Amino acid sequence: MKLLELSAACLFATLSLGAMADVDVPLEHYRYGTQLDVHKVLSHREAPAQQCQVVEARMDYLDSRGQRHSLAYLKYSDSCRDTN
């Protein structure tokens, strides 16, 4: 009986995580001086670039209250690290 209860609890926990992932978070655009409260970074990605150039990047994160945010900002592409 306890195995059945444990299985049901795991199923509901998995379903609730899936529901949280579908929440649409508005995209915020970074401006110089924007106060950020980043507690945990969930994902980070940027537009692909073959050469060193400025690209738009996006970071999804949780703040100290557990609320999810999505931040867009400009940065030098990762290919700039390989050039001198």
- The helix/strand/coil state of 9 is helix
Within a domain: 71: yes
Q: Strand (E) positions, 1-84?
A: 27-29, 40-46, 54-62, 68-76
The CATH number for 60's domain is 2.30.140.50
Residue 66: domain span: 25-84
Task: Tell me, yes or no, whether 3 lies in a domain.
Answer: no
Does residue 63 lie in a domain region?
yes
Beta-bridge mates of residue 60: 43, 70
Give the mean model confidence (pLDDT) for residues 49-73.
95
**Residue 17 maps to a domain:** no
Task: Report how many domains make up the chain.
Answer: 1
The pLDDT score that the predictor gives to residue 19 is 46
The Cα 26–Cα 68 span in angstroms is 10
| φ, ψ (nearest 5 deg) of residue 8 | -65, -40
Residue 13 covered by a domain: no
Tell me the pLDDT tens digit for each residue of 5-32.
544 555 455 544 444 555 688 999 999 9
pTM over 0.75: no
